[in-house]
Amino acid sequence: MGYSPFLKEKKELVRIGRIIFESGLTDTHGGNISMRIDNYILIKKSGKMLGYLEPADVVVTTLEENPDLDSEASIELKVHRAIYRALPEVKGIVHAHSPYTVACSLVYDEIVPFDSEGKLLLGKIPVLSAEQVVSSDEVAEKLPELLRKSPAAVVKSHGPFAVGKTLEEALKYLSALENSCKIISIMKTLER
């Protein structure tokens, strides 16, 4: 059996991707996930189901654009790359199409959790409005600045991006945000 570079890290991407899907944080083909290791980015291949990845479904590319390596990567690579360039302390990024979070992004310009966990972990979560939301130069330009101030930000109608020093930390913020948005939605229903 041959050597596979970054096999341990690829397995971690697979594990976190499965948790995101099994937790209901995204649909079958939605979302993407990446990890930075020095000047390399490991990111989900385009079109692969986040909950059913295998190590072979993870593309290894570089922090700088690399047409040969980038061709199979998630279409959100430009956004992930922009975040890693602007925030060198970030080592993991998760993006999902979390239903309650997306719903809240359609109503609020900023998501303010009601629950104590959300307040503690997240504070106020910015919502970014953009002309084009998927694989967008505008999102790649504006999102890193929002993530400089918050561990997560939501692209309106598209979904949250969460960052961390590890993928598991980024997942913690993604999950906490979706939970806070569920609570906001429930509270709005109870207020009727």
Signed CA dihedral, 138, 176, 167, 149: sign only: positive
Q: Tell me: the pLDDT tens digits for 30-45?
A: 999 999 999 999 999 9
**Could you give the C-alpha distances from 140 to 11, 73, 133, in angstroms and in order?**
27, 16, 10
Q: Tell me: the pLDDT tens digits for 150-189?
A: 999 999 999 999 999 999 999 999 999 999 999 999 999 9
Q: Tell me: the pLDDT tens digits for 131-151?
A: 999 989 999 999 999 999 999
Which residues neighbour 15 within 8 Å (Cβ) at sequence distance 6 or greater?
none
- The model's confidence at residue 5, banded by pLDDT at 50, 70 and 90, is confident
Q: pTM of the entire structure? A: 0.95
Q: Tell me: the pLDDT tens digits for 52-74?
A: 999 999 999 999 999 999 999 99
pLDDT of residue 36: 98
- Ramachandran area for residue 29 (φ above 0: left; ψ -120 to 50: alpha; else beta): alpha
Separation between Cα atoms, residue 171 and residue 192, nearest integer Å: 32
Please provide the size of the chain in residues. 192
